[in-house]
Amino acid sequence: MLRRTLKYGRCTAEATRTGGAIIEREVRDGGLVAKKRSITLEPVKPVGSITANTRGHLAAIDAESAPYLVTEAMPPFQSRVGRISAGVDSIPPAATARLVDRGLVTVGPPWRSTSNGYLPETRATVAVSLAARLAMLAQDHRTYTIAPAGYVKPLDIGHDFIGRNSPRGGVTYDRRSPAGCSCRTWSATSVDGRDDARRLAREHRQQMTAEFIASLG
Ligand SMILES: [Zn+2]
């Protein structure tokens, strides 16, 4: 749904740390100037911060082609109940319960299998939820901006040719506002103040979200 919206709706999306997305769209309601409208899609339960330990579990689930949750098993396999089996990783019942309860993992309908080839076992397919993926994406791209220096002596910003004869007695106004991201792969400097730097940062987050949505295939 998200992918279709972006592809055909001339929209941009930005992942939120709660596991939702802000969809922004330009609309022209008769006027000459396009206005920006935005709606925020949120999961039923907002996703809180995701720790490194939880991320490890989600990565294990994601790496496995057919991860499943054991919901019923016979002795001596009852210790499997409540665990998520993801390849060589087995996520303990308490951690599994938290993943499901927080909406980080979705659980499919149950199906019958066996524990050891013949003792019956009930399993349910699990997957990392879209909300968890969006929240992790937002966590990975926390952007910041730095306020312009404002009135400075030109020499302090490496110029010695402007402002010297200005009425302000040799000071100039530095509007440059740097921006960066916690992913450490992006930074920029606006020459037009902090609001413009915030716009650049938002564009980076939107770009990262667009690439993520495209990768959903
Ligand atoms: Zn980033």
Torsion of CA 21, 27, 33, 37, to 10 degrees: -30
CA 189 to ligand 1 center in whole angstroms: 15
Q: Model pTM?
A: 0.84
Quick one: pLDDT at residue 156?
Answer: 65
Convert the pLDDT of each residue in 32-61 to its tens digit. Answer: 787 888 999 999 899 989 999 999 999 999
pLDDT value at 215 more than 70: yes
Report d(CA 7, CA 111) in Å as an integer: 36
CA 205 to ligand 1 center in whole angstroms: 6
CA 77 to ligand 1 center in whole angstroms: 45
Where are the domains positioned within the chain?
Answer: 2-43+137-215, 52-128
Residues with CB under 5 A from ligand 1 (ion): 141, 181, 183, 186
Query: Residue 216: pLDDT band by 50, 70, 90 thresholds?
Result: confident
- Look at residues 137, 143, 183 and name the one whose alpha carbon lies nearest to residue 16: 137
The answer to which of 7-16, 36-45, 59-68, 153-162 has the lowest mean pLDDT is: 153-162
CA 137 to ligand 1 center in whole angstroms: 9
